[in-house]
Amino acid sequence: MAAKAEDPYHVQVPTAELRRLALALDVVDRHADLNHRYRRMIADSRAVLSADHVRLTQARGLAKRLMVLAKAAGPALREDVPKPDRDALEAGLRQADELVFGR
């Protein structure tokens, strides 16, 4: 019989391991033209990231927010930002993909 997977609600993730997500959120915040609802998502995400640890489910939620924010910002975000910011955004989106889809 296979071992039962640990409940992601109880798994803790150090927020330091979510640095790529945090940096990507910073890029979106600095460069994207977003409405107040999306800005609120960024603020809420930063509040979660201010803790030392978060639940895996929260980390996945942050990852999904980043995906939504990047999509809302549109393709111009990736095209118009300086290369270091574009690289940070792409790294954050890769981490988001890993968290959400396990890739």
- Tens digits of per-residue pLDDT, 12-43? 999 999 999 999 999 999 999 999 999 999 99
pTM of this prediction?
0.90
Contact in structure between 88 and 100 (CB atoms under 8 Å): no
Residue closest to 62 by CA, chosen among 50, 73, 74, 79:
50
Give the torsion through C-alpha atoms of 17, 37, 47, 7, to 10 deg. Answer: -60
